[in-house]
Structure 1
Amino acid sequence: MRRISRTLITAALVTAVIGGTAGFAAGDSQVAVTGAPAGTAEWRAAGLPDPERMDPAGVARFFAGLDPVRRRELARTHPTVVGNLDGAPLELRYEANARATRGQFGGARVLAHDARGRGQVALVYGDLARAEHVAVIVPGSDTDAGRIGSLEDMAEALRRATGGRTAVVAWAGYTTPLGVGLDAATGRLAEVGADRLTRFVEGLAAVGAAEPSVFCHSYGSVVCGLAAHQLKAKDLVVFGSPGMRAGNVGELGTSARVWAAKDPTDWIDRVPNVEFAGLGHGTDPTEPAFGARRIAADDADGHGGYFAPGTTSLRTFAAIAEGDVR
């Protein structure tokens, strides 16, 4: 009887988590992109150090030991590797990715581009090397290299709101769920994304960029929650979050300040905050018991309106990125 009851509870939670946003389509299961960048076999065959055996600090040391001519030669001959090596010099990555993407992304510099799967990309707005403040935006479902418009809008809005003083990275660097289905209800893709985000931010530190504030939207907040204990960030800001796979801020294991916003018209509010048998993402980060610093978002509009010009949420996001709030 106990086994039957548990099965019924699990089935009910599956229905609640997936069907909690009635009218949204279930998504197809996605295969997460992992491992070394495309072109690594040729890189290794040329006698170059294995990217999978170097952390970002090791990558930085490798390039520091090369003269400028050799660095640029590697960017020309192995653009898909150099362009995606966290810890490689920023300008070299920009050069490699400009060659690999052939101007596909305008208005920003391309810090990473992986054409495998649905495609992943990291776009930089501003001077990442010299900016006193850096922000990284982690998106949720239905984002990839071909569908990045809303993420670009967020990045551009945040940069404008800081008066252009903060360098902003639009990081579509993991395989996101499609639609609302099992992928969105579980942490499987978020676990891979957390590893990739952690390494990406370590790469920023390895080249001397400022410690970032990380802004995490929707399923992206699941990624940030799983990465939190290793992520080198001064702030974690989640908005439109289904949960961070933690019961409270203490369980995140981070020294970063944790902030949370939810607009009352956001459909995410209809997603049950449960976590059972791998389904659901746990406590709502805007609940007082979670312990995050609450950001007012009453004048935002829906799930994607947190960066709308003139909103309280955008003004607060900018102040956080600039270090103007305590």
Structure 2
Amino acid sequence: MRRYTRTLVAAALATTVVVGTAGWASGQAQQAVTGAPVGVEAWRGDGLPDPERMTPAQVAGFFRDLSPERQRELVREHPSVVGNLDGAPLRLRYEANALTLGEQYAGQQVLASDPRGRGQVALVYGDVSEAAHVAVIVPGSDIDAGNVKPLTDMAEALRRATHGRTAVIAWAGYTTPVGVGLDAATGDLAEAGAARLTRLTDGLAAVGAPAPSLFCHSYGSVVCGLAAHDLKAKDLVVLGSPGMRADSVADLNTSARVWAAKNPSDWIDNVPNVEFAGLGHGEDPTDPAFGARRVPADDSRGHNGYFAPGTRSLRTFAAIAQGDVR
């Protein structure tokens, strides 16, 4: 009875926070970008296999059967498709996205780029094909192709902390919420993002990359929670999480190790950990009852401070990415 009462109180509080003028009312409704890459109609028109009917493993097999000359032809003729096909050779994706983007990301390794909506992009730091360890950073609200610096700062900080031994992917590959409105309090965008994130890890596996450690910030942890049972990952690390849409690590149904970090000054601690009538994201992953391994974060500051140089959280993230902690 006490638990039931507590749930009702938390649900009422969550509703108040979400719809109240002093709460999560500043966000704008977003439409998730999904489906095949831009340019797929022309690709299909040339008699090429439908990307929406191919798994990343099948995409990898398709490209393996092509001559190098034919691969380069496809890059030239269909760059927006090749650049976004999980399972395609990484070097071809980089080349294709360089053609599509021109000077916008000159000199950078762009793993994916989608101009629809607010724009999506995935940037790679290091050599994913040769690295012994790979990390993927999954961001939360407000990150898109036009506002990617907070995400790339995290990626660069993690790569430096591993002394360049871990390849890091800054993955702005889904439609994130804007602000802290209803989109941030519900799971719709996270569900669309989870499908894209799953395909990313399937694509990495298809090209022989190591199973990555995923670092999921804020709303990104909701994405990771919903995708957890399908992800080819060795670690799921959530930081500043509002919840993972699960009651416990066991509910995630993943073989990955699950870690959680939250510092005392993070405003996310004021968000009720409840899921009720589609609002909220469930239990706090840093609660001991959830069952995640705790990442020390007492010396990081605020909601975005977990990758700050010199913090225990960043040092622990680097150790997790490199498999140095058990």
TM-score bracket for this pair, using the shorter chain length: over 0.9
Segment of structure 1 superposing worse, 100-109 or 24-33: 100-109
Query: Within 1, Cα distance between the matches of 2:107 and 2:135?
Result: 17
Query: Within 1, Cα distance between the matches of 2:200 and 2:20?
Result: 34
TM-score w.r.t. the length of structure 2 is: 0.95
Post-superposition CA distance 1:264-313 (Å, at most 9, x none)? 00010111111001100000000000000001101101000000000000
Post-superposition CA distance 1:85-130 (Å, at most 9, x none)? 0000000000000011113125631000000110001100000100
Counterpart of 2:216 in 1: which secondary structure? strand
Post-superposition CA distance 1:128-164 (Å, at most 9, x none)? 1000000000000000000000000000000000000
> Residue in 2 aligned with 1:15?
16
The Cα of 1:15 is off from its aligned counterpart by 1.4
> Residue in 1 aligned with 2:197?
197
5+ residue gaps, structure 2, are: 1-6
Q: 1:18–1:185: 8 Å Cα contact kept in structure 2?
A: no
Counterpart of 1:204 in 2: which secondary structure? helix
Q: 1:18–1:180: 8 Å Cα contact kept in structure 2?
A: no
Partner letter of residue 141 of structure 1? S
Query: Within 1, Cα distance between the matches of 2:259 and 2:9?
Result: 36
The Cα of 1:18 is off from its aligned counterpart by 5.2
Q: 1:237–1:260: 8 Å Cα contact kept in structure 2?
A: yes
Query: Within 2, Cα distance between the matches of 1:119 and 1:260?
Result: 29
TM-score w.r.t. the length of structure 1 is: 0.95
Query: Within 2, Cα distance between the matches of 1:12 and 1:289?
Result: 22
The Cα of 1:24 is off from its aligned counterpart by 6.1
Post-superposition CA distance 1:188-209 (Å, at most 9, x none)? 0000000000001100000001
> Residue in 2 aligned with 1:223?
223
Q: 2:10–2:272: 8 Å Cα contact kept in structure 1?
A: no
Partner letter of residue 165 of structure 2? R
> Residue in 1 aligned with 2:4?
none
Query: Within 2, Cα distance between the matches of 1:19 and 1:314?
Result: 35
The Cα of 1:25 is off from its aligned counterpart by 5.0
Q: How many pairs were matched up?
A: 320
Q: 2:37–2:81: 8 Å Cα contact kept in structure 1?
A: yes
* Counterpart mapping for 1:247-258 below 5 A: 247-258=247-258
Q: 2:19–2:25: 8 Å Cα contact kept in structure 1?
A: no
The Cα of 1:16 is off from its aligned counterpart by 2.8
> Residue in 2 aligned with 1:303?
303
Q: 1:215–1:238: 8 Å Cα contact kept in structure 2?
A: yes
C-alpha distance 77-54 of structure 1, shift in aligned 2 (>3 A) = same
Partner letter of residue 171 of structure 2? W
* Counterpart mapping for 1:95-110 below 5 A: 95-106=95-106, 108-110=108-110
> Residue in 2 aligned with 1:86?
86
**Is the aligned partner of 1:211 residue 2:218?**
no
Query: Within 2, Cα distance between the matches of 1:318 and 1:176?
Result: 25
The Cα of 1:11 is off from its aligned counterpart by 6.0
Counterpart of 1:110 in 2: which secondary structure? strand
> Residue in 1 aligned with 2:3?
none
Partner letter of residue 26 of structure 1? S
The Cα of 1:322 is off from its aligned counterpart by 0.4
> Residue in 2 aligned with 1:70?
70
The Cα of 1:33 is off from its aligned counterpart by 0.3
C-alpha distance 265-18 of structure 1, shift in aligned 2 (>3 A) = farther
Query: Within 2, Cα distance between the matches of 1:301 and 1:291?
Result: 24
Partner letter of residue 68 of structure 1? P
C-alpha distance 165-11 of structure 1, shift in aligned 2 (>3 A) = same
> Residue in 2 aligned with 1:126?
126
**Is the aligned partner of 1:166 residue 2:166?**
yes
**Is the aligned partner of 1:244 residue 2:236?**
no
**Is the aligned partner of 1:144 residue 2:147?**
no
C-alpha distance 233-19 of structure 1, shift in aligned 2 (>3 A) = farther
C-alpha distance 106-306 of structure 1, shift in aligned 2 (>3 A) = farther
> Residue in 2 aligned with 1:261?
261
Counterpart of 1:57 in 2: which secondary structure? helix
Partner letter of residue 16 of structure 1? V
Post-superposition CA distance 1:34-72 (Å, at most 9, x none)? 100000000000010000010000000000010001001
Q: 1:123–1:171: 8 Å Cα contact kept in structure 2?
A: yes
C-alpha distance 152-18 of structure 1, shift in aligned 2 (>3 A) = farther
CA RMSD of aligned residues (A): 1.7
Post-superposition CA distance 1:180-224 (Å, at most 9, x none)? 111000000000000000001100000001110000000000000
Q: 1:36–1:52: 8 Å Cα contact kept in structure 2?
A: yes
Counterpart of 1:229 in 2: which secondary structure? helix
The Cα of 1:26 is off from its aligned counterpart by 1.8
5+ residue gaps, structure 1, are: 1-5
Partner letter of residue 15 of structure 2? V
Q: 1:17–1:272: 8 Å Cα contact kept in structure 2?
A: no
